């Protein structure tokens, strides 16, 4: 099967598009002329964004649970059927740690994080490769949302940290394997973007020394600008790892 070029549009898939970083990035890409497949588990916020008349019909809702490999396969098939190709995947969907100390978690609580943050990302990368390697022109770009927890953990974050460390390895491996298909794979590591998921930082979170401290936050629009920049590069250039963070957050000096 060969997928033909759609000369009139650049096609992006954004997972976790219903809120936070995914929503802000979807808006940034739309404002830059992309056609965006908005992906998330909750249909309502996706359809609300897609219905915005200012987006000129370039935003389209595709409800999907990325932890379900069959659903992800159907998602990519539906996007290709509608638009003919995929030029960009922002692999953004994720979830935070279960509450409480990890020694009290059930196996299902551990698995709930792994299924989305790691397996879900892999399923999306896999399907993106299957599309991008056969379309004409061949290739595309994948940007994984890593988090600064891909290199440095917070206290009580073992599931989130483990999956994000794994995402970093997956990014490097996919970047290597994508070369022969002109698929550029990179990762954005974000520190304290102000979203619903991270709002607790502004109220105080545990530090490595046991203290509770308020941490500086970063406007989510800055993150969206960073993703848009990475997406704008030609396929013979790649940002392998990009860290964007609140300047005064304690990340650089953690511990």
Q: Which residues are catalytic?
A: 160
CB neighbour list of residue 163: distance below 8 Å, 6 or more residues apart: 94, 113, 114, 117, 118
Q: How many angstroms separate the first and last alpha carbons of the chain?
A: 52
SS (H, E, C) 49-112: HHCCHHHCCCEEEEECCCCCHHHHHHHHHHHHHHHCCCCEEEECCCCCCCCCCHHHCCHHHHHH
Q: Which residues pair with 145 in a beta bridge?
A: 188
Are 234 and 184 within 8 A, CB to CB?
no
Q: Tell me the backbone φ, ψ of residue 35, rounded to 5 degrees.
A: -95, 130
Distances (CA, A) of 14 to 45, 202, 214: 13, 27, 30
């Amino acid at each position: 099967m060969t997928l033909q070029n759609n000369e009139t549009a650049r096609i992006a898939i954004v997972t976790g598009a219903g809120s936070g970083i995914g929503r802000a990035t979807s808006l940034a890409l739309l404002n830059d002329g992309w056609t965006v497949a908005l992906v998330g588990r909750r249909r309502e916020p996706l359809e609300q964004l897609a219905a915005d008349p200012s987006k000129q019909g370039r935003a389209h809702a595709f409800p999907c649970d990325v932890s379900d490999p069959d659903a992800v396969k159907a998602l990519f098939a539906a996007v290709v059927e509608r638009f003919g190709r995929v030029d960009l995947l922002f692999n953004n969907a994720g979830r935070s740690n279960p509450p409480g100390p990890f020694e009290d978690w059930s196996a299902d609580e551990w698995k709930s994080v792994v299924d989305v943050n790691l397996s879900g990302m892999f399923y999306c990368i896999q399907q993106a490769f299957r599309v991008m390697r056969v379309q004409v022109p061949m290739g595309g770009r994948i940007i994984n949302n890593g988090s600064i927890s891909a290199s440095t953990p917070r206290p009580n974050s073992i599931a989130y940290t483990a999956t994000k460390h794994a995402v970093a390895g997956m990014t490097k491996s996919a970047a290597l394997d994508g070369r022969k298909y002109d698929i550029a794979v990179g990762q954005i590591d974000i520190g304290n973007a102000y979203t619903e998921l991270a709002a607790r930082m502004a109220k105080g979170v545990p530090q490595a020394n046991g203290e509770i401290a308020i941490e500086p936050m970063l406007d989510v629009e800055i993150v969206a600008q960073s993703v848009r920049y990475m997406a704008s590069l030609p396929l013979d250039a790649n940002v392998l790892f990009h860290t964007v963070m609140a300047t005064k957050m304690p990340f650089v000096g953690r511990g």
